[in-house]
Structure 1
Amino acid sequence: MRLSSLSLSFLVLFSSPVFLSSASADTSPQLKRVMLSSAGVGYFEYESDVEGPTTLTLSIPRNQIDDVLKSMTIDGANGGAVSVRMPDDEPLEKGFSDFLFTPDSLESPARLLSELRGAEVSIEGPRSIKGKLMSVEAETVTLDNDKGTQNRYRVSLITSEGLKQAILQDVQSLHFEDEKLRNQLNQALTLMATAQENGPRQLDIVLSGKGKRQVKIGYVVSTPVWKVAYRVQLDKADRAHLQGWAILENTSGRDWKDVELTLLSGNPIAFRQPLYQSYYVDRPVVPVETLNHQLPLIDKGELDGRSQLNQYAMQKQARPMAAPNQLNGGQFLAAPTALMVRSEDEKDIRETDVSQSAPQAEAIENQSQIVLKLPEHQTIASGQSMMTPIIDRDIPAVRHTLLSNNKPIVAVEIANQSTTGLPPGAITFYDGTVDTTYLGDGQIGALPVGEKRLVGFASDLNVRIIRDAPTTKELYSASVNSGVVQIKNSVRQTTTYRLKSSAKEKRIVVLDIPRRANETLVEPKADASGISLIQNGYRIRHSLAAGQEETLNIVTESVKLESLSFEQMQNIDRNSLDFYMRTIIQNGAMDDETKKIFRQIASMRQPSIDADDAIASFQDSREVIISEQKRLRENLAQVPNGSDLQKRYLKQMEQQEDKMDALLSQIETEKDKKAKADVALKVWLNSN
């Protein structure tokens, strides 16, 4: 029992409360406005009526501090100075750097007293003692009647009367006489209480303005993404009724009471930045200059005129530590974000085609997002979700049969004829022609004003579509213009779709055809009725009569253009010529005019190619002779002058020289042939 009393005494002594000055008793602004974005962030706006200089207090979760520092705005300072103060986020060790003890010292009274030797204390217990701490020693004593042992601590104090001791467990109270030490202990416990990583941080907003005024405080923090779920009820005509519901959650940790709630659909750029951390720059250590034993430097001369000052080059390197002590600023601590923008022009853009059966959100669209303001203030308790209608209107909706993954799907083409876009979301389809009947589910992306989307929701059991394997045909064509041969390589791909309907009414079949790079639609014509361009492809609408079976051919063409100049033709060797003559011309992949052009090129290039081959052959023969002459010269150096063997080698050398002269003459002849052939080819090219 005495141990419990002692612990309580220490708690009371070391944990005095922190008082915050304020002009009013209630310093908590009231939440009035919430804007939730589909980008996973939300804008929260608080209001408070104040008079004169005052301090407003907000409690912010630790994981939201960075976002608040980045985005907070304050309106209503009335020309006075504004500052925001909060606890440091420095490590405990840094906060304890000026104390006489460490955070570990506060784990137990015995450990704290051991580290505060020399401190003057007053002890109340079985006897009163006042003196300076000398030591705290652990000891083990045996209980009476041999009932075991007990661990206890003996505290020794130096008093004016000498050394006195007390058992720590028997002490009822212990008081530190030094006021500075007592303040340090209180500060230390406050630091430890606020050092929890996920604990909230208290922001004090200090306003020095004058007079009565309303202050608005807003910031952007991370929130759950709100969702949209649509209901579409189809009727007999090409119309449907669309209803959209928003699903959202309050995970802010505080209740939303009678707040203005706005939903934003868009994709704004949002990021986090660790502004609550402290950053320091490492600086180089420069030695202190001294005059003692200063020796002259030894001159080693200049090195390419470059100094050696790079020896102490500084590298700046930032390392994170912890947080700012306070944030000073003017009326606005950050620029308003996109979540807050509502221009006067946009206020006139309202949704007009609205059913009066249920209230819906006021829709405004700006350049980057759709703003949906709920018509009434909302109350949502912390930890609760809400579903509320935001769209309720009639829309054009035409049924089609869409080929998706080679399967016919019943799809509805939804047109947005309103004045604002529709957010993306899931759609549940119902048939409202007789009784409400569930048809299926679909999904729609963002739908801008004036655009249409096909949304599939069920298999079409009355239409069969078979896609045959595509066939490919390659065709070359060529023309000569200004000395250059233009070659066009066309690849046509034909895909046949066989359509069969057992329905009692006409069907509009929609085929989405992929489109590769440089590919165009040849059949049907790309500009024909029912053909539209979609991302990475074409959309083809085909009317299929009731109970009919039809065949639809889709032909696409990709074209590759090449140019063949005279200089490039000179690089055509025999193998390339064989390719054009045998592979292309003979397989019928050219029209007659193109074949004529390539045959003419081949016939005019043939003499030049033959000449090149002949020159290469003569050059090989010369190399053989040169090698043989080298051997003969080496042999002549080894035989006696005037010998029969010398005469024989000399005769062979003479014969080799004759052959060399003949080869050189033949090479020149072939070069003339090649030149004449090239000139003839160039003249022919330029004449066309």
Structure 2
Amino acid sequence: MRAPILLTALALPAAAADLPVRSVTLSNAGLMQIERAGDLAPEASIGFRAPVEDVDDVLKSLLLRDPGGRVEDVRLAAQDLQAEAFRGLPLKPEDFGSRATLMAALRGQAVEAGGASGRLMDAEDTEAGLRVTLLTDGGLRLLLLREGEEVRLADAALAAQIARAAEALAASRSADMRGITIRLSGATAPREVGLTYVAAAPLWKPSWRLVLPDGAGEARLQGWAVVENRSGTDWNRVRLSLVSGNPSAFAQPLYAPIRVARPLLPVRAAERVEVAADTGARPALPEMSPDMRASVSRRLPAAAMARMAAPEPPPAEAAQAVAEASPGRVAFTLQTPVSIRGGETANLPFLEERLPAERIWWVQDVNVRHPLNAVRLTNATAHVLPDGLAAVYGATGAEAGAWLGDAELRAVALGEQRIIAYARDRNVQMTAAQDGSERPVGVAMTPGVAHFTVRKRQEVALAIDPRGARGRLVLDLPRRGEAKPIFAVTAEGDFGLRTEALLDGSATTLRFAWEQTVRQEVPLWDRGLGDPVLLRWREIDLDQDWRRMPGGGTGLETLEFLAMQLPAEAPGRAMLQGTIAALAEARRLLEAARAAIRTDTLAEAQLTRARAAVEDRTGAAKEDARKRLNEASQTAERAGTAADAAWEAWQRAVQAVLAQTG
């Protein structure tokens, strides 16, 4: 038996026209542009459905074209439709399970039923009909409602709320979709109206079929696009465009309610007084052992592929799309309308081109054993070729119709070249060796420092055995800081430095070198000592500091080693030889001064002992001690004079060194 009707005061919206999808533009930025258009009556509104996840984008980008009307507003149900519809009602969604549960949820409400008015107390389904108990002014009244009889709520506003809740309950059964209504006004005659919006979409995925020539010639390039319709609407004979570009795109939560958080100001109360209870004294910590203290502080192998035969005769021509290029963007528009049902995936041909091509060997790392099989393509079309994966096939000879491998094709601008590799040539072998050298080519002198100009050279030698095969080898070599290549560079890019060589079938060795000129300083002494001419030997520890002084240390040997490598015509070579000679003399005199100073040190020590002997002795022994003290004093005086003379001689040699370098 049907449930009695619960009357409401609900104003139903006017019917909305669902404009069909006329065109779809898919972008490689993960977006789609939907265009709907159709004839619209003067007072009609526009209605369509969109997935919930697209509503933010629709609200952000909706654009209406109406030659005769104006937009009043865009309406759709709240995101939390069901929760909002039941807010404040005495009902829950489960109360709509049966008429008895609905009536039970409305207990206490004022109603009219069976010609009587009162408050609904109870309702029960029976075989005879719905038995309703009302509380009237005269007491309880039992009513049996039969088919078609009504229970009318006295509160019209509550009735309208319940009706909206029922509508929301029905709509929530398809919670992943939302109906959107655009209300228009001002039109006086039928006209064609269109709307456009942009929403997220699966990427359209290009893939390529590349048929290679034997050697140099023309390669045949076919473009296919995998397209997925996830718009929630069927596309029936739409104009489909595939766009490759790099637009700026943002997402913003316009549909979801956003509540701004506010700081919570607490109600002030008296501060709590917290007291830690006294738990009594505890034993002292034990001393930690040393050990305890230390402990605390402490490429898938490629699967074998069977030879894949391409269809014979050669592949059929692919459907050609119309390419329209604009700055930073190219759109391929299919010439034939496309139909793709919602949730369906299609693979559509959109390009057929013939491009200049040359088959080459490609080396990206000289340390590998075999080079890559590759092809160099030139984009001779009038537009950019987008990124995609290419399945490479052969065209002639033993390769005719054979799958040769897969390759990644990155975006190619007009007139640009790209090298794509599809296999590794195991018939060609390579061995690489690297070496480096440094050689001084000039020298300049400043006081205390020799400034060498050093030429650094780095070299890579690549031995290649093509085993009779002929062709072009392209190598990508890394940049080496500021070192300049001394080989022909055909291109520079993210790959580094590109160079090329022609192989004639015989084994050969290719050499690639980089050179860099640097400055190298060789100090003749430690500048931290100050001016060596002003040094006093009695004020320094010569045994410790002699290596820091002119003639000491390894500066002389370093200069001699570098001088042997200097070319005879190198600038500054004669001055360097003079400096080496002067520095060698300074070393000889420094060694002599060190010897004299050591003698003086021994003499001073003997003099000190002699003085102590005089103090310790008496009588005849004291007289002998005085004689020895006199002899020790004379010896110390002669040693000191000799040390002074040797030190002055060394300082004169230092001045000669300064004269050479100044």
- Compute the TM-score of the two structures, normalised by the length of structure 2: 0.66
Q: Give the structure 2 partner of residue 253 of structure 1.
A: 232
Residue identity opposite 1:27 in structure 2: A
Cα distance in 1 for residues equivalent to 2:557 and 2:207: 60
Residue identity opposite 1:369 in structure 2: R
Q: Judging changes above 3 Å, is the alpha-carbon distance between structure 1 residues 439 and 579 closer, same or farther for their aligned structure 2 residues?
A: farther
Aligned partner of 1:408 among 371, 376, 390: 371
Shift of residue 34 of structure 1?
A: 0.6
Residue identity opposite 1:378 in structure 2: V
Q: Give the structure 2 partner of residue 176 of structure 1.
A: 153
- 1:192-212 per-residue CA deviation (whole Å, 9 max, x = no partner) reads 333468432111112224344
The 8 Å contact of residues 6 and 151 in structure 2, kept in 1 or not, is answered as no
The 8 Å contact of residues 249 and 385 in structure 1, kept in 2 or not, is answered as yes
Residue identity opposite 2:50 in structure 1: I
Question: Alignment partner of 2:380: what SS?
Answer: coil
Shift of residue 57 of structure 1?
A: 0.6
Q: Judging changes above 3 Å, is the alpha-carbon distance between structure 1 residues 516 and 82 closer, same or farther for their aligned structure 2 residues?
A: farther
Residue identity opposite 1:233 in structure 2: V
Question: Alignment partner of 2:6: what SS?
Answer: helix
Q: Give the structure 2 partner of residue 272 of structure 1.
A: 251
Cα distance in 1 for residues equivalent to 2:50 and 2:529: 76
The 8 Å contact of residues 50 and 231 in structure 2, kept in 1 or not, is answered as no
Cα distance in 1 for residues equivalent to 2:353 and 2:334: 16
Shift of residue 497 of structure 1?
A: 0.7
Cα distance in 1 for residues equivalent to 2:92 and 2:179: 25
Q: Give the structure 1 partner of residue 328 of structure 2.
A: 368
How is 1:278-677 mapped onto 2 (pairs within 5 angstroms)? 278-281=257-260, 359-404=319-364, 406=368, 407-434=370-397, 435-468=400-433, 470-474=434-438, 491-503=456-468, 505-522=469-486, 524-526=487-489, 531-546=490-505, 548-557=506-515, 581=555, 588=562, 592=566
The 8 Å contact of residues 477 and 590 in structure 1, kept in 2 or not, is answered as no
Does residue 202 (structure 1) correspond to residue 179 (structure 2)? The answer is yes
Residue identity opposite 1:366 in structure 2: S
Cα distance in 2 for residues equivalent to 1:410 and 1:98: 72
Q: Give the structure 2 partner of residue 218 of structure 1.
A: 196
The 8 Å contact of residues 62 and 197 in structure 1, kept in 2 or not, is answered as no
Q: Give the structure 2 partner of residue 642 of structure 1.
A: none
Shift of residue 398 of structure 1?
A: 0.7
Cα distance in 2 for residues equivalent to 1:83 and 1:268: 29
Cα distance in 2 for residues equivalent to 1:589 and 1:267: 60
Report the aligned-residue RMSD: 4.8
The 8 Å contact of residues 556 and 583 in structure 2, kept in 1 or not, is answered as no
Q: Give the structure 2 partner of residue 132 of structure 1.
A: 119
Does residue 66 (structure 1) correspond to residue 56 (structure 2)? The answer is yes
Question: Alignment partner of 1:185: what SS?
Answer: helix
Cα distance in 2 for residues equivalent to 1:358 and 1:421: 18
Shift of residue 498 of structure 1?
A: 0.5
Q: Judging changes above 3 Å, is the alpha-carbon distance between structure 1 residues 36 and 558 closer, same or farther for their aligned structure 2 residues?
A: farther
Cα distance in 2 for residues equivalent to 1:482 and 1:582: 16
The 8 Å contact of residues 85 and 164 in structure 2, kept in 1 or not, is answered as no
Does residue 9 (structure 1) correspond to residue 15 (structure 2)? The answer is no
Residue identity opposite 1:276 in structure 2: Y
Q: Judging changes above 3 Å, is the alpha-carbon distance between structure 1 residues 599 and 552 closer, same or farther for their aligned structure 2 residues?
A: farther
Q: Judging changes above 3 Å, is the alpha-carbon distance between structure 1 residues 478 and 97 closer, same or farther for their aligned structure 2 residues?
A: farther
5+ residue gaps, structure 2: 125-129, 267-314, 531-544, 591-646
Shift of residue 439 of structure 1?
A: 2.6
Shift of residue 409 of structure 1?
A: 1.9
Q: Give the structure 1 partner of residue 139 of structure 2.
A: 162
How is 1:111-150 mapped onto 2 (pairs within 5 angstroms)? 113=103, 116-122=106-112, 130-134=117-121
Q: Give the structure 1 partner of residue 206 of structure 2.
A: 228
The 8 Å contact of residues 440 and 562 in structure 2, kept in 1 or not, is answered as no
Question: Alignment partner of 2:437: what SS?
Answer: strand
Q: Judging changes above 3 Å, is the alpha-carbon distance between structure 1 residues 80 and 178 closer, same or farther for their aligned structure 2 residues?
A: closer
Q: Judging changes above 3 Å, is the alpha-carbon distance between structure 1 residues 36 and 512 closer, same or farther for their aligned structure 2 residues?
A: same
Shift of residue 556 of structure 1?
A: 2.7
- 1:355-397 per-residue CA deviation (whole Å, 9 max, x = no partner) reads 9965411112222222111112222222333233222222111
Residue identity opposite 2:227 in structure 1: L
Does residue 185 (structure 1) correspond to residue 162 (structure 2)? The answer is yes
Residue identity opposite 2:421 in structure 1: G
Q: Judging changes above 3 Å, is the alpha-carbon distance between structure 1 residues 583 and 282 closer, same or farther for their aligned structure 2 residues?
A: farther
Residue identity opposite 2:484 in structure 1: T
Cα distance in 1 for residues equivalent to 2:493 and 2:200: 36
Q: Judging changes above 3 Å, is the alpha-carbon distance between structure 1 residues 14 and 277 closer, same or farther for their aligned structure 2 residues?
A: farther
Q: Give the structure 2 partner of residue 150 of structure 1.
A: none
Question: Alignment partner of 1:65: what SS?
Answer: helix
The 8 Å contact of residues 49 and 232 in structure 2, kept in 1 or not, is answered as no
Residue identity opposite 1:551 in structure 2: T
Q: Judging changes above 3 Å, is the alpha-carbon distance between structure 1 residues 569 and 426 closer, same or farther for their aligned structure 2 residues?
A: farther
The 8 Å contact of residues 580 and 598 in structure 1, kept in 2 or not, is answered as no
Question: Alignment partner of 2:58: what SS?
Answer: helix
Residue identity opposite 2:110 in structure 1: E
Shift of residue 233 of structure 1?
A: 2.2
Question: Alignment partner of 2:236: what SS?
Answer: strand
Shift of residue 284 of structure 1?
A: 7.8
The 8 Å contact of residues 77 and 207 in structure 1, kept in 2 or not, is answered as no
Question: Alignment partner of 2:327: what SS?
Answer: coil
Cα distance in 2 for residues equivalent to 1:560 and 1:174: 101
Question: Alignment partner of 2:159: what SS?
Answer: helix
Question: Alignment partner of 1:70: what SS?
Answer: helix
Question: Alignment partner of 2:13: what SS?
Answer: coil
Shift of residue 444 of structure 1?
A: 1.0
Which entry has the higher C-alpha Rg, 1 or 2?
2
Question: Alignment partner of 1:47: what SS?
Answer: strand
Shift of residue 494 of structure 1?
A: 1.9
Cα distance in 1 for residues equivalent to 2:560 and 2:493: 39
Question: Alignment partner of 2:251: what SS?
Answer: coil
Residue identity opposite 2:325 in structure 1: E
The 8 Å contact of residues 7 and 151 in structure 2, kept in 1 or not, is answered as no
Q: Give the structure 1 partner of residue 286 of structure 2.
A: none
- 1:658-679 per-residue CA deviation (whole Å, 9 max, x = no partner) reads xxxxxxxxxxxx9xx99xx99x
Q: Judging changes above 3 Å, is the alpha-carbon distance between structure 1 residues 684 and 421 closer, same or farther for their aligned structure 2 residues?
A: farther
Aligned partner of 1:80 among 70, 85, 91: 70
Cα distance in 2 for residues equivalent to 1:66 and 1:440: 43
The 8 Å contact of residues 579 and 660 in structure 2, kept in 1 or not, is answered as no
Bigger mean CA deviation after superposition, 100-109 or 30-39: 100-109
Cα distance in 2 for residues equivalent to 1:107 and 1:586: 104
Shift of residue 275 of structure 1?
A: 0.6
- Compute the TM-score of the two structures, normalised by the length of structure 1: 0.63
Cα distance in 2 for residues equivalent to 1:154 and 1:481: 119
Shift of residue 105 of structure 1?
A: 5.6
Cα distance in 1 for residues equivalent to 2:520 and 2:56: 58
Q: Judging changes above 3 Å, is the alpha-carbon distance between structure 1 residues 433 and 575 closer, same or farther for their aligned structure 2 residues?
A: farther
Residue identity opposite 1:227 in structure 2: K
